[in-house]
Chains A and B, each alone.
Chain A
Amino acid sequence: MLEVRNISKSFYRAEALHDVSLTVNKGEIFGLLGPNGAGKTTLIRVINRIVEPDHGSVRFDGDLMTDADLGRIGYLPEERGLYRSMTVEAHAIFLGRLRGLSKKDVRAKIDYWFDRFQINDWRKKRIEELSKGMAQKVQFICTVLHEPKLLILDEPFSGFDPLNVELIKQELIQMRAAGKTVILSTHNMKSVEEICDRVALIHEARKVAEDKISNLQAERKMGLYAVRFRGNMIAFVNALWTGFELIDKDILSEDRFVARVKMRGESSFEDLLKVLIGQVQIEAAWEVMPSMQDVFIDIVQPVEK
């Protein structure tokens, strides 16, 4: 769907992107991660042809990208604004028309999305009367109004309450199901874990990782297992011998716990289960995968060191 090849971009003496290449497949939600100032926004601007790269190219559906392709992209920038004096409806019509919709189509799309987001009452409200969350909804609708094939969202969840974050997530999942492609740049790692298929991590202008989330997590698993059991916590600890280390525990009730245990030396998960059986009543046990937050820190911190 989208191929970014060897993109480099400098602003005066500061290098914003250095030889960045990545591929976004059709119908996937692709996470673009990285610390602040890593170069994500510059990369997104290059893809949207707002910033011209010094080197490299962007291919869209196999061909070199042109201005004509912009109509097939929906872009929600991180620093996004609205014309405060316009009404919600007039604003949506203006942006829809700019993105190539006819007068008739734009009205039909507005009806559909305003119904879907239940904001029909806001049509005649001026943007300046809206709360930040309400304005975010309007911005999201304006981004998807023209049914783009590729959606590029830069920090789409900022400013939303948890309910609306969930609403946007579900919309993105439905769009993926409908064959649309989404590039999501966010610091919300929980959302990345939940909805992204693959991610790329940009750090200090360079791409330092690009893979499926499960692969990135698997590469960084640390022999950590969780056991949910019923019984006595002291008995659980006593059962562990030198091959295991109790990392932390959650108390579910007086006699129910979830304990996280790290393997030491040659110890295996089977060994752990063997020593526990008979000491406590095991309800469930599973391998603890590192969170995307852990993966992010794990990748970024060594680079910083």
Chain B
Amino acid sequence: MKNSLLIAIREWKERVGSRSFLLFSVFGPLVVLALVYLLFVFGGESKQHWNVLIADPSGVLKDRILSADDKNISYSFADGYIETDEFRDAKKYQRFDALLEINGQILYTKVSHVFYRGKPSTQIEKSVQYHVERRLEEVMVDRFTEFSIEDYRKIKQPLNLGFRDVYDPEGLESDLEGWVGYFYGIIIFVFVFLFGMTILRSVSREKSNRIVEVLLASVSPNQLMLGKIIGVGLSALVQFLIWAIVIGAGLFFMRETLFPDMLNAANLNVQDLAIEASNQSYSENYFAAREYNEFVELVYNRVRFSVILPFFLLFFVGGYFFYGALFASVGATMGSESDGQQFVLPIIFMLCLALYSGYHVLYYPESPLASFLHYLPFTSPVVVMVKLAQGYEPGYGYQIYMSLLVLFISAFAMLAIASRLYKNGILQFGHRVRIKHIFKWLRKT
């Protein structure tokens, strides 16, 4: 193990000391920050003014919601019941952005739905909920109590108002959080591919400049391979850490300096709103916030970094060892640096499959294939990131640990297989790699 450590340290120093590492460390996160900045600046052009149609056949809220309450929302009433399909397709309803269903039972169930055409900003959602809730309170106090409205608000419970896509009322389609998870998965695979190729190049370079025989006189092939994978992996982690620090600092800087208004508004949540509902000046300030950007809110409020980052690291390590062993064995079996590139193709194919699997899970998170891909070591790092960002059903969080276990067991198995290929291939020079060689080396102990 000591020898593996020495090799790992040498690899680490070589990588970290290289110019490409420095460039990738500096410019990589800056490019990401620039993209985030562009999304912040140009991504907030979601619809500012909403026309909401209220279907209230029992007349619970009739004439109670006034458009003057909020400049960003106009409410209209429909007398009868409107089917969601009808609202979605009928020409006369196309000028409305959302349909709010109020049935006669709402006063008892406190459940209602808003069917939207394009996902509203959180601020719009909060405004609608705020308006409906306040009007319902007034109705309830009128009909059922002797309380004043102020007394009632002291003892009330929050309304459960579910927002649903009119084109996807079951909520099967992905959401932005899922895309953030997918982004994390892509980052894992970009790092795995880049540093996997680094391992491959490093192994084939050692073969071609013949240092490998000098090393093998002191260390076993397994120690050499493991040291190399660990060393390159550590440099990847350092790179990732630099990325995290630079991007984190950049986001903090943007939050404090470039977009403070947007962020102040987006920082509020529904609970705060309910608690402070009686405070008129507060709600006025809240709805006075004109600027809103979904990406800003996504990055600063909706992505649970504290949950995602630890699993990101664990799945990165597992995925890196799994693919790193593959890259190392391909490097060892190559007769020359140019030869053997053909064997990189299957690995690239697996990486592409992993990226596609993340995309699939975004859209079909509950499909049987998604469950399979969730445990498949080739794909699990991306799939779990997506699922993690979307959120697991309560009680199903153990699936992450199961997937992690499968990944690490597979990585160890892959290391064992790769060590055979490495051991038998590393001293073969100038040959053309053939499949039959690979199988022979795999059979040899």
Contacts and interface: CB of A to CB of B under 8 A. Distances in A.
A50 B224 CA distance: 12
Given A86-B14, A94-B6, A98-B6, A81 B214 contact: yes
Residue of A51, A75, A83 ringed by the most chain B CB atoms within 10 A: A83
A75 B6 contact: no
Contact of B214 (A12, A73, A80): A80
A290 B216 CA distance: 39
B210 A79 contact: yes
Given A70-B218, A94-B6, A98-B3, A80 B210 contact: yes
Interface string A101-126: 00000000000000000000000000
Contacts of B217: 48, 50, 70, 73, 75, 77
Contacts of A83: 10, 14, 209, 211
B220 interface: yes
A166 B255 CA distance: 71
A217 to B, nearest CB: 33
Contacts, number: 60
A77 B214 contact: yes
A279 to B, nearest CB: 60
Contacts of B6: 94, 97-98
A24 to B, nearest CB: 17
A67 interface: yes
A51 B427 CA distance: 9
A95 B220 contact: no
A45 B18 CA distance: 33
B272 to A, nearest CB: 57
Given A86-B14, A95-B214, A81 B209 contact: yes
Interface in B154-186: none
A8 to B, nearest CB: 16
B209 to A, nearest CB: 4
A172 B380 CA distance: 58
Contacts of A94: 6, 10
Interface string B51-83: 000000000000000000000000000000000
Given A70-B218, A98-B219, A99-B218, A50 B14 contact: no
B427 A85 contact: no
A139 B217 CA distance: 14
Interface size class of B (residues with CB under 8 A): 20 to 34
Interface residues of A, number: 27
A149 to B, nearest CB: 14
A81 B215 CA distance: 10
A82 B209 contact: yes
Residue of B3, B18, B213, B219 ringed by the most chain A CB atoms within 10 A: B213
Given A51-B427, A98-B6, A67 B220 contact: yes
A11 to B, nearest CB: 9
Interface in A119-177: 139, 142
B215 A98 contact: yes
Interface string A50-62: 1100000000000
Residue of B211, B219, B440 ringed by the most chain A CB atoms within 10 A: B211
Nearest to A154: B213
Contacts of B18: 85
Nearest to A86: B14
24 contacts: A48-B217, A50-B213, A50-B216, A70-B217, A71-B218, A73-B217, A75-B217, A77-B214, A77-B217, A79-B213, A81-B209, A81-B211, A82-B211, A83-B10, A83-B209, A84-B209, A85-B14, A94-B10, A95-B214, A95-B218, A98-B6, A98-B219, A139-B214, A142-B214
Q: Which 6 pairs of residues, A with B, have the shortest CB-CB distance?
A: A81-B209, A81-B211, A81-B210, A79-B210, A75-B217, A77-B213
